[in-house]
């Protein structure tokens, strides 16, 4: 017999009123982009309506668990600012929030469902096939006398509990994105709810947990649409209110293939390691299947929460475009305050610039407008610690109208000027070169190009002669110019 008193006590615990959403990941190793989008949309629905966002860990598939994966979930949500109101680490009114700690609940509810006539005990050997691909007519246990079935259970005979799907009629369920969907009941199988070891299947546990936690909106991938009619029948069998379903179409690598870690597609952690900012990733992921009104694309997380509307989620799959994400990232980098950019850029700067005398904040200033990802930084700075060996042909520049003899002359004359400058700052360095150009009656580039080549040894640098000289300092700048003079003089 079902423990109705216990069930009544659990029903009394369920929070009522207000929007309650849940993110229920399996700890299988990493947060892929589709999973992050589910978490984000679930959080946005809750925050947009002033509701509660719940974190539940679904760890009953023990064969797929990865050590440390729960920490990845916590860390990712925290880094992304997707704070949860209830969960394993913060508690809440319907704890526990880890599925393996809720195992005692499911059998009691399944037994109650049997008593209500919407499930049955199955003793067939084939019932070990927990996928549920099992024709109604093939299962003699459907028609077993309930008392006979109970007798066999109490005698210790092995069994599973299966959902009793109506053999006739149609199940209609509503999805907030796809609308009303009808499924002939004859197309549905009597899925396993409780396995022989007493543990629930995923399809049963998440329905029970969603009800017990008062979840009002269930956000998940569209691959679960085919299971939704069976979920509906479970809710109806229990006499429970059905939550709003929000089935999101997949995130695709291209027109034909879903994103997959096995195919080298990046997880959230991969994207951060590749130099993308969390804020940019979130903004871009929000637009993978959801479109705000108007042409605007750049939104903060708080602005997304204000704007988010379920009705604007698309039925069509979204294609993950790394170039579009890179564009978003560059926009976010440029919009940062110089102080914030210097803080996030410093670890990447120090990968290339080991000399502590070189100011990372000064270096960051020349990078902010010139990099799309943080990982672009080290390769742009390989000349700062040590002047690379370079070809003097770099001094010949058509646009600046420079040649080697002219560059040698400029370097010889600028060296004593730099040596004697009263202050080594951007204004003084700039004035020294522009004054020389003005005195010679030439464009500034005719002086700045040879200086830039001499102190960097590269044709392309983040920042020009003034910025690089300021970063290097007077002594190093003059030493490199002296080397440049020697290189050119050796060829004269």
Active site residues: 261
- Are β-strands 244-248 and 217-221 bridged in parallel, bridged antiparallel, or unpaired? parallel
The encoded tokens of residue 353 equal 């610039």
Q: How far is CA 327 from CA 169, 324, 331, in A?
A: 51, 5, 6
- Are β-strands 20-23 and 52-55 bridged in parallel, bridged antiparallel, or unpaired? parallel
Q: What is the DSSP string of 269-335?
A: HHHHHTT--HHHHHHHHHTSSB--SSS-----HHHHHHH--GGGB-SS-EE--HHHHHHHHHHHHHH
Q: Please give the helix or strand (H or E) that residue 408 lies within, else none.
A: helix 404-419
Angstrom distance (rounded) from CA 330 to CA 332: 5
Q: Please give the helix or strand (H or E) that residue 192 lies within, else none.
A: strand 192-194
Query: C-alpha angle 95/96/99, rounded to 5°?
Result: 140
271 within 8 A of 285, measured Cβ to Cβ: no
Local structure of 397: helix, strand or coil: strand
Q: How far is CA 176 from the centre of its chain?
A: 24
Q: How far is CA 104 from the centre of its chain?
A: 33
Paired with 172 in beta bridges are: 182
Q: Please give the helix or strand (H or E) that residue 9 lies within, else none.
A: helix 4-13
- Are β-strands 318-319 and 251-252 bridged in parallel, bridged antiparallel, or unpaired? parallel
CA dihedral sign, ordered 170, 174, 180, 181: negative
Q: Which residues of 19-42 are buried (b: 16+ CB within 10 A; e: fewer)?
A: bbbbbbbbbbebbbbbbbbbbbbb
Closest CA to 82 of 35, 37, 43: 43
Local structure of 55: helix, strand or coil: strand
Radius of gyration of the chain measured on its C-alpha atoms: 33
């Amino acid at each position: 017999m079902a423990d109705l008193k216990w069930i009544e006590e659990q029903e009394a615990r369920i929070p009522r009123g207000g929007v309650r959403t849940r993110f229920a990941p399996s700890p299988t190793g990493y947060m892929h982009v589709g999973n992050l989008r589910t978490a984000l949309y679930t959080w946005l629905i809750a925050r947009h309506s002033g509701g509660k966002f719940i974190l539940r860990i679904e760890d009953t598939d023990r064969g797929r668990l990865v050590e440390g994966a729960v920490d990845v979930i916590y860390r990712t949500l925290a880094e992304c600012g997707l704070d949860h109101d209830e969960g394993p680490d913060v508690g809440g009114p319907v704890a526990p929030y880890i599925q393996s700690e809720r195992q005692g609940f499911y059998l009691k509810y399944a037994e109650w469902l049997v008593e209500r006539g919407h499930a049955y005990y199955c003793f067939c050997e084939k019932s070990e096939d927990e996928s549920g691909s099992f024709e109604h007519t093939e299962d003699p246990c459907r028609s077993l006398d309930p008392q006979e079935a109970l007798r066999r259970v109490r005698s210790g005979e092995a069994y599973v509990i299966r959902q009793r799907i109506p053999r006739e009629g149609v199940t209609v369920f509503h999805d907030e994105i796809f609308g009303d969907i009808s499924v002939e009941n004859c197309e549905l199988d009597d899925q396993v709810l409780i396995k022989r070891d007493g543990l629930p299947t995923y399809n049963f546990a998440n329905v029970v947990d969603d009800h017990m936690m008062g979840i009002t909106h269930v956000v998940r991938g569209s691959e679960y649409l085919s299971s939704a009619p069976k979920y509906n029948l479970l809710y109806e069998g229990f006499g429970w209110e059905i939550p709003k379903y929000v089935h999101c179409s997949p995130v695709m690598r291209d027109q034909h293939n879903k994103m997959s870690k096995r195919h080298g597609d990046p997880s959230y952690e991969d994207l951060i390691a590749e130099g993308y900012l969390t804020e940019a990733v979130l903004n871009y992921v929000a637009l993978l299947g959801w479109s705000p009104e108007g042409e605007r694309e750049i939104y903060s997380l708080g602005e997304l929460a204000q704007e988010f509307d379920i009705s604007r989620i698309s039925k069509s799959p979204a294609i993950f475009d790394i170039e579009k994400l890179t564009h978003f990232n560059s926009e976010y980098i440029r919009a940062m305050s110089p102080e914030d950019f210097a803080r996030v850029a410093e670890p990447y700067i120090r990968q290339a610039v080991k000399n502590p005398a070189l100011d990372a904040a000064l270096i960051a200033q020349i990078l902010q407008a010139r990099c799309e990802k943080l990982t672009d930084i080290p390769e742009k700075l390989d000349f700062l610690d040590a002047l690379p060996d370079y070809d003097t042909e770099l001094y010949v520049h058509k646009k600046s109208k420079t040649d080697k003899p002219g560059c040698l002359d400029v370097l010889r004359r600028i060296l004593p000027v730099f040596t004697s400058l009263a202050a080594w700052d951007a204004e003084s360095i700039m004035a020294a070169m522009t004054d020389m150009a003005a005195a010679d009656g030439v464009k500034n580039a005719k002086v700045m190009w040879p200086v830039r080549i001499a102190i960097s040894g590269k044709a392309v640098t983040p920042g020009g002669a003034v910025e690089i000289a300021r970063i290097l300092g007077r002594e190093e700048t003059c030493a490199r110019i002296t080397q440049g003079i020697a290189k050119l003089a050796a060829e004269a």
